[in-house]
């Protein structure tokens, strides 16, 4: 029903202003709110009608009956661009066509598709009407867009009742004035305003009612509440018209007149007459069976009494099944019925869950499966439903997933199913910080599998050992088992190499020489027809990084990322991108660390922001501190929502280290030292002795020195030195010598700092070398060695500048007493951050169009950055970028 848009000039101007901000390069989300019929849709329609050329509009309307259709809203929005294969491919196309089982890949693919659309437009507007009925998967994707891609030129307009929401602009719509309502109805202002409450949709209905019956008294159009007014009005229709309206409201959108006719128990002709009467009053759109406004259907639906509503939903489910309607359409009605102990609803709901899983929408699948279990199913079907439900819940509800998988695991007899369930169950328990339970489950299942499938048992043993070393209640036992396993001979099967990787991880964490641990890691990662992936590959790669074998680690990281991209496993990509960020941090490449850590966040949807994000979050925050941005690092860390499960996780140590360093850099000595010491206490309770995982002692010792507590600083430095000698890597020894040199002072301290520089020079740890050179320069200045001090400080400044460590470079510059070092005119150091990022993507084979889509730029801007890069590097084209 179209009503003239009145008194919305200020709201239109507000939307114009929001679009201007988007065109300037800032993604915006606006909640357009107000009661039913207040004109939200009409306002946005008027706004989009006057958009300039080159600003596409993607639209979706949410329906309550489609709430469980995973990515249904995303499908409506992006299907218009699906025909352009180059814009929407891979996981995004799978999400829209029903072939994307990986929810992480689907969310990432949809974001990539959106970026591709925006890459060709100056801006885009995305409209979601009745957003309160949107499916969870699409809402998560929309939140991901606005939370992780703030520079997208995208204006999201979410239309719904209700109030404001954090992170979104709010545009509330109020009632129209008496004069506006009089204009819409053509009758006396005061009475019409009282009857309609200033609601333009009600005013339009009143106008239609008066047009059909001019003698009608206005008082007969009762009420100011939309639903009540409409029901009062419909009560005046013939009984068969109301019966047809009920059927049409329960069915939802349909193009088949036979369906509402059959549901309302009348023939096609009778149904046609009823539809014509509803159409004449303005309730149905012209020549269709669609309601002229979604809220009309909702009001009619709300007026159907409970028992009658259940009767109609049951009849609709049977009717749709009989005509071969999609299972999701049938399931939408079954979800609104109480359990009845029948077999056919279980079959329909299971099929709908499988479809939702194929679309990468596990929440929708879980909803269907819970309802199927309530029916209830047969004993045999129940076990399979429990497994499917546990897998679906493990994405966003690991506690619930663990409960259902544990119940099913004891009943399973197939070895392959036992292994798959045990692995997911173990991961769920780990995410809930119930590592001791995960260890017990994996051990029990491995013992059950060992007589039938040794490889599966070994794979579970490896997971058990990996998780066991990270929990206080199981670490001692895991350490003892690692000692026993070192004396066993393991071959090169997949299961044996997986166990070797876990053994390398445990060996490294509990200290001892780096060489044996690295040897085990290399054996685990050796070339094979079935290379390790995911956590199994990550564990030995961490060992290579801790032992200083960064080049070999990078080789395995890049290969694992390539395999994950080919297999479509976004979660595995995220794990390995975290390791790539750690590699960049170890090499002192701060800009690359920041880029890679942020790319990791882009891969994962918001509901898994806790555990998988802690490592890249810590790396990003530390890199920001080294870039002399401690306040930005603290703001980033403050976004983490702490939970007991998260804080008891081993990965929380990386958060504590990053926050401790950020607080120290920001001047909060007490808070920073408390975080670092808490990290150390947790490591100590686990029995971990590796000084590189993580290096908290060197920072805590500096904090003690700043607090004038040299005796506490010395205790930490001496212990760190012992552990570094035990571990034996050049980087660990260099850091330990530096820390001990700082707390020792005098000529002995100067010697230790010189030894630190000598130990770090052969390594790739350039940032740690810059720190040592700065400390060495300060110590030489204090000793009166002016020339040597200037040499160390000048080198510190140059190395820090190359790493992007702004704070270190500035500190060295101040010590030297020279002016700021300008950016060089040529060479890699001459590139801006954006030029470096564009060059890196071009070197990896991305086209200008791909680069523009990934970075939110125009192709012309990309060309400009590449031209500047070629000039600064002295090369002629892409062929020279890799070198």
Instruction: Quick: pLDDT tens for 11-27.
Output: 999 999 999 888 887 88
pLDDT of 723 reads 95
pLDDT in tens, 246-273: 999 999 878 888 999 999 999 999 999 9
DSSP designation for 169: E
pLDDT of 819 reads 40
Residues 6+ apart with CB under 8 A from 494: 455, 459, 528, 530, 532
Confidence tier at 148 by pLDDT (50, 70, 90):
low
pLDDT in tens, 96-143: 555 555 666 777 777 777 777 776 677 889 999 988 888 888 887 888
pLDDT of 232 reads 66
pLDDT of 485 reads 86
Confidence tier at 681 by pLDDT (50, 70, 90):
very high
Identify whether 544 is part of a domain.
no
pLDDT of 617 reads 92
Q: Comparing 2-11, 521-530, 607-616, 795-804, which segment has the lowest mean pLDDT? A: 607-616
Rounded Cα gap, residues 110 and 126, in angstroms? 14
pLDDT of 227 reads 55
pLDDT of 48 reads 93
In 3D space, the residue among 31, 18, 12 whose CA is nearest the CA of residue 163 turns out to be 31
Going 826 to 830 to 835 to 836, the CA torsion angle's sign is: positive
Average pLDDT over residues 701-706: 96
pLDDT in tens, 315-357: 999 999 999 999 999 999 999 999 988 889 999 999 999 988 8
pLDDT of 231 reads 67
pLDDT of 567 reads 80
- Compare 607 and 604 and report the one with higher pLDDT: 604
Among the three residues 355, 374, 392, which one is the final residue of a domain in this structure? 392
Backbone dihedral region of 97: left (phi > 0), alpha (psi from -120 to 50 degrees) or beta? alpha
Total tally of structural domains belonging to the chain: 3
Q: Comparing 117-126, 407-416, 676-685, 806-815, which segment has the lowest mean pLDDT? A: 117-126
Rounded Cα gap, residues 534 and 541, in angstroms? 11
pLDDT in tens, 554-578: 999 999 999 988 887 778 888 999 9
| Other CB atoms within 10 Å distance of the CB of residue 566 | 8
| Ordered alpha helix ranges (H), 323-378 | 327-334, 343-358, 362-373
pLDDT of 851 reads 81
Rounded Cα gap, residues 198 and 621, in angstroms? 52
How large is the C-alpha radius of gyration of the chain? 32
In 3D space, the residue among 298, 295, 322 whose CA is nearest the CA of residue 309 turns out to be 298
Residue 2 has pLDDT above 50, yes or no: no
Among the three residues 142, 172, 202, which one is the final residue of a domain in this structure? 172
pLDDT of 823 reads 57
Q: At what angle do helices 327-334 and 343-358 cross, to 10 degrees?
A: 120
Question: Which of 155-191 are b and which e, b meaning 16 or more Cβ less than 10 Å from the residue's Cβ?
Answer: bbbbbbeeeeeeeebebebebbebebbbbbbeeeeeb
181, 189 in Cβ contact below 8 A?
Answer: yes
Rounded Cα gap, residues 89 and 101, in angstroms? 15
Identify whether 522 is part of a domain.
no
Identify whether 633 is part of a domain.
no
Average pLDDT over residues 200-226: 60
Residue 609 has pLDDT above 70, yes or no: no
Average pLDDT over residues 807-824: 75
3-state helix, strand, coil in the chain (%, to 5): 65, 5, 30
Among the three residues 392, 410, 434, which one is the final residue of a domain in this structure? 392
The mean of the pLDDT values for the chain is: 86
Rounded Cα gap, residues 795 and 793, in angstroms? 5
Rounded Cα gap, residues 9 and 643, in angstroms? 46
Instruction: Find the angle CA(867)-CA(873)-CA(878) to the nearest 5 degrees.
Output: 55
Model confidence, pTM: 0.77
Identify whether 600 is part of a domain.
no
Identify whether 84 is part of a domain.
yes
In 3D space, the residue among 341, 340, 362, 242 whose CA is nearest the CA of residue 300 turns out to be 242
Q: Which tokens hold the place of 852? A: 């523009």
Q: Comparing 614-618, 728-732, 855-859, which segment has the lowest mean pLDDT? A: 855-859
Specify burial of residue 255 (Cβ count, 10 A radius: 0-12, 13-18, 19+).
exposed
pLDDT in tens, 452-500: 999 999 999 999 999 999 988 899 999 899 888 887 777 789 999 999 9
Average pLDDT over residues 616-631: 94
Average pLDDT over residues 52-56: 84
Q: Among all chains, which residue has been given the structure tokens 């023939």?
A: 267
Identify whether 261 is part of a domain.
no
Confidence tier at 152 by pLDDT (50, 70, 90):
confident
Q: Among all chains, which residue has been given the structure tokens 């964490």?
A: 509
Confidence tier at 820 by pLDDT (50, 70, 90):
very low
Rounded Cα gap, residues 331 and 345, in angstroms? 8
pLDDT of 791 reads 92
Identify whether 646 is part of a domain.
no
In 3D space, the residue among 247, 262, 259 whose CA is nearest the CA of residue 300 turns out to be 247
Q: Which tokens hold the place of 664? A: 């120290």
pLDDT of 220 reads 47
513, 728 in Cβ contact below 8 A?
Answer: yes
Instruction: Assign residue 141 the CATH number of its domain.
Output: 3.40.50.300
Contacts by 242-247, CB closer than 8 A, 24 or more apart = 243/274, 244/271, 244/274, 244/275, 244/278, 245/274, 245/278, 245/283, 245/300, 246/300, 246/304, 246/308, 246/312, 247/312
Rounded Cα gap, residues 572 and 550, in angstroms? 20
C-alpha 210 chain-centroid distance: 53
Q: Comparing 446-460, 514-528, 659-673, 808-822, which segment has the lowest mean pLDDT? A: 808-822
Identify whether 352 is part of a domain.
yes
Rounded Cα gap, residues 499 and 14, in angstroms? 60
Q: What percent of the chain has pLDDT over 90?
A: 51
Q: Sheet containing 154-160: which strands, arranged edge to edge?
A: 57-61, 124-129, 154-160, 28-33, 169-172
Please provide residue 609's backbone torsions phi and psi, each rounded to the nearest 5 degrees: -70, -10
Rounded Cα gap, residues 265 and 247, in angstroms? 9
Please provide residue 290's backbone torsions phi and psi, each rounded to the nearest 5 degrees: -95, 140
Confidence tier at 85 by pLDDT (50, 70, 90):
very low
Rounded Cα gap, residues 18 and 158, in angstroms? 13
Intra-chain end-to-end CA distance of the chain, in Å = 64
pLDDT of 555 reads 94
Residue 416 has pLDDT above 50, yes or no: yes
pLDDT in tens, 633-654: 999 999 888 888 788 888 899 9
Annotate 767-782 with DSSP letters as a single string: HHHHHHHHHHHHHHHH
In 3D space, the residue among 592, 599, 554 whose CA is nearest the CA of residue 573 turns out to be 599
Confidence tier at 199 by pLDDT (50, 70, 90):
confident
Average pLDDT over residues 806-825: 76
Q: At what angle do helices 189-196 and 178-185 cross, to 10 degrees?
A: 90
> How many H-runs (helices) and E-runs (strands) does the chain carry?
45, 5
Rounded Cα gap, residues 67 and 361, in angstroms? 12
Which residues form the domain of 114? 9-172
Residue 371 has pLDDT above 70, yes or no: yes
At residue 437, the 3 state secondary structure works out as: helix
pLDDT of 223 reads 42
Rounded Cα gap, residues 551 and 554, in angstroms? 5
């Amino acid at each position: 029903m179209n009503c003239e848009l009145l008194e919305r000039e200020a709201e239109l101007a507000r939307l114009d202003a929001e679009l201007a901000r988007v065109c300037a390069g800032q993604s915006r989300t606006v909640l357009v709110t107000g009661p039913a019929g207040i004109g939200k849709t009409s306002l946005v329609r008027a706004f989009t009608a006057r958009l300039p050329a080159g600003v596409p509009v993607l639209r979706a309307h949410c329906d309550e009956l489609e709430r469980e259709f995973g990515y249904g809203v995303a499908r409506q929005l992006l299907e218009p661009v699906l025909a352009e294969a180059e814009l929407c491919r891979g996981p995004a196309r799978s999400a829209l066509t029903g072939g994307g089982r990986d929810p992480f890949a689907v969310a990432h693919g949809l974001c990539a598709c959106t970026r591709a659309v925006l890459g060709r437009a100056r801006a885009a507007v995305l409209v979601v009407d009745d957003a309160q009925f949107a499916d969870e998967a699409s809402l998560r994707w929309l939140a991901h867009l606005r939370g992780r891609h703030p520079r997208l030129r995208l204006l999201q307009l979410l239309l719904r009742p209700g109030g404001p929401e954090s992170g979104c602009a709010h545009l509330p719509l109020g009632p129209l004035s008496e004069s506006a309502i009089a204009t819409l109805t053509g009758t006396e202002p005061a009475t019409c305003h009282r009857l309609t409450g200033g609601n333009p949709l009600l005013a339009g209905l009143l106008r239609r009612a008066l047009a059909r019956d001019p003698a009608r008294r206005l008082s007969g159009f009762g009420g100011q509440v939309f639903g009540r007014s409409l029901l009062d009005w419909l009560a005046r229709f013939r009984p068969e018209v109301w019966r047809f309206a009920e059927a049409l409201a329960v069915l939802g959108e349909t193009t088949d007149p036979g369906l509402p006719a059959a549901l309302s128990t009348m023939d096609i002709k009778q149904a046609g007459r009823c539809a014509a009467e509803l159409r004449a009053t303005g309730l149905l759109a012209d020549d269709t069976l669609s309601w002229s406004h979604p809220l009309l259907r909702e009001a009619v639906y709300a007026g159907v009494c409970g028992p009658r509503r259940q009767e109609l939903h049951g009849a609709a489910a049977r009717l749709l099944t009989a005509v071969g309607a999609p299972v999701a359409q049938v399931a939408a009605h079954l979800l609104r019925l109480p359990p009845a102990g029948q077999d056919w609803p279980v079959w329909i709901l299971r099929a709908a869950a499988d479809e939702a899983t194929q679309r990468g929408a596990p929440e929708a699948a879980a909803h269907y499966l819970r309802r199927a279990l309530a029916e209830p199913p047969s004993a045999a079907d129940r076990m399979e439903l429990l497994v499917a439900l546990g897998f679906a819940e493990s994405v966003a509800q690991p506690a619930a997933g663990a409960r259902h998988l544990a119940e099913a695991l004891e009943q399973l007899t197939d070895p392959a199913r036992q292994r798959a369930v045990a692995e997911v169950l173990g991961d769920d328990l780990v995410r809930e910080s119930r590592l001791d339970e995960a260890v017990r489950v994996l051990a029990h299942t491995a013992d059950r599998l060992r007589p039938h499938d040794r490889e599966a048992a070994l794979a579970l043993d490896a997971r058990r050992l990996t998780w066991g070393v990270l929990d206080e209640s199981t670490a001692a036992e895991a350490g003892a088992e690692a000692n026993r396993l070192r004396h066993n001979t393991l071959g090169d099967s997949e299961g044996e190499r997986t166990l070797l990787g876990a053994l390398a991880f445990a060996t490294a964490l509990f200290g001892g020489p780096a060489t044996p641990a690295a040897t085990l890691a290399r054996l685990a990662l050796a070339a094979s027809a079935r290379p390790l992936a995911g956590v199994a590959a990550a564990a030995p790669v961490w060992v290579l990084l801790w032992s200083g074998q960064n080049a070999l680690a990078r080789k395995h990281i890049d290969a694992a990322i390539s395999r994950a991209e080919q297999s479509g496993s976004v979660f595995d990509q995220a794990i390995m991108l975290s390791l790539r960020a750690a590699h960049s941090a170890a090499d002192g490449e701060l800009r690359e660390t920041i880029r890679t850590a942020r790319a990791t966040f882009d891969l994962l949807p918001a509901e898994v922001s806790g555990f998988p994000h802690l490592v890249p979050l810590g790396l990003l925050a530390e890199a920001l501190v080294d870039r002399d941005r401690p306040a930005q690092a603290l703001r980033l860390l403050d976004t983490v929502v702490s939970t007991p499960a998260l804080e008891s996780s081993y990965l929380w140590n990386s958060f504590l280290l990053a926050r401790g360093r950020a607080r120290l850099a920001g001047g909060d000595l007490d808070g920073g030292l408390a975080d670092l010491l808490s990290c150390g206490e947790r490591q100590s309770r686990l029995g971990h002795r590796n000084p590189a995982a993580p290096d908290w002692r060197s920072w805590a010792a500096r904090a003690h020195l700043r607090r004038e507590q040299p005796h506490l600083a010395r205790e930490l430095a001496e212990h760190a030195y012992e552990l570094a000698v035990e571990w034996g890597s050049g980087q660990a020894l260099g850091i330990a010598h530096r820390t001990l040199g700082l707390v020792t002072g005098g000529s002995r301290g100067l010697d230790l700092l010189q030894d630190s520089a000598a130990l770090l020079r052969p390594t790739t740890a350039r940032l740690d070398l810059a720190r040592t050179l700065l400390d060495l320069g300060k110590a030489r200045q204090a000793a009166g060695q002016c020339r040597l001090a200037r040499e160390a400080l000048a080198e510190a400044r140059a190395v820090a500048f190359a790493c992007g460590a702004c704070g270190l470079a500035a500190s060295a510059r101040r010590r030297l007493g020279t002016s700021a070092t300008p950016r060089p005119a040529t060479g890699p150091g001459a590139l801006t951050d954006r030029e470096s990022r564009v060059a890196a993507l071009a070197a990896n084979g991305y086209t200008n169009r791909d680069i523009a889509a990934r970075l939110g730029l125009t192709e012309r801007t990309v060309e400009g950055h590449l031209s500047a890069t070629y000039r600064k590097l002295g090369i002629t084209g892409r062929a020279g970028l890799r070198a």
